[in-house]
Amino acid sequence: MPVGSAYRNDENWGILSVRRRPHRGREFEWRDGRRQEGKEGGSEVSEDFVTMTAPDAADLLAPDGSEIRLLPRLERGSMVLCTLPPGQVSLAVTHQTVEELWYVVEGQGELWRRRDDHAEVTDLRPGIAVTIPLGTHFQFRAATSGSLRVVIVTMPTWPGDGEAVPVSGRWALDSIRALTRGCPPVA
């Protein structure tokens, strides 16, 4: 994530800053106190390169109710690790300006997608990659056997409030968990 990039980990946007550390490269400092160090041994780390580990705790809740862990982002795209707990169903939404690429890394579930008159349900399991084209209505659910974890790339970067619009979905909303799990929701 380039220096000066905006990110969101609570109800406010923050800015990534960089501090030089003598003989140790650079250290990236996030507004919430997390630090991300560059390469050891005096070599400089380009401000264009970010390496990080996904946080243990969710940074926020997505508009669909899934837990989001923020990963690196660039000017034209962003990446997150999305988690849906066992047996849970997301809210059905459509995006107004972004498209997404999904790659399932853990768990099993299903994804419903509808665009115009075409609708389908796709089984989700590790190794499956899917697209969410602009204007697609979608909803997903995790199997009861474990959490569903998906790496999601959003293009362009997530613009913020109002991007996800609720729509009618395939699965009943009574199985959706409460949207308060210790993470601030995205407005």
What structural domains and CATH numbers belong to the chain?
A: 1-51 (no CATH), 60-175 (2.60.120.10)
Order of strands, edge to edge, in the sheet holding 129-132? 60-61, 67-74, 77-84, 148-155, 99-106, 129-132
In the chain, % helix, strand, coil (3-state, to 5) comes to 0, 45, 55
What span, in angstroms and rounded, lies between the C-alpha atoms of 57 and 78? 19
In sequence order, the β-bridge partners of residue 6 are: 15
Task: Quote the pLDDT of residue 5.
Answer: 45
pTM > 0.75: no
Task: Please check whether residue 68 is in contact with residue 137, taking contact to mean a CB–CB distance below 8 angstroms.
Answer: no
pLDDT at 1: 40
> Cα separation of 140 and 148, whole Å?
10
pLDDT in tens, the chain (187 residues): 444 444 444 443 443 433 333 333 334 444 445 554 433 333 233 456 888 899 999 999 999 999 999 999 988 999 999 999 999 999 999 999 999 999 999 999 999 999 999 999 999 999 999 999 999 999 999 999 999 999 999 999 988 888 999 999 999 865 444 333 444 444 3
pLDDT at residue 47 in the model:
57
Tally of CA atoms within 13 A in the half-sphere of 79 that contains its CB: 13
Please report the pLDDT score of residue 40 as a whole number: 33
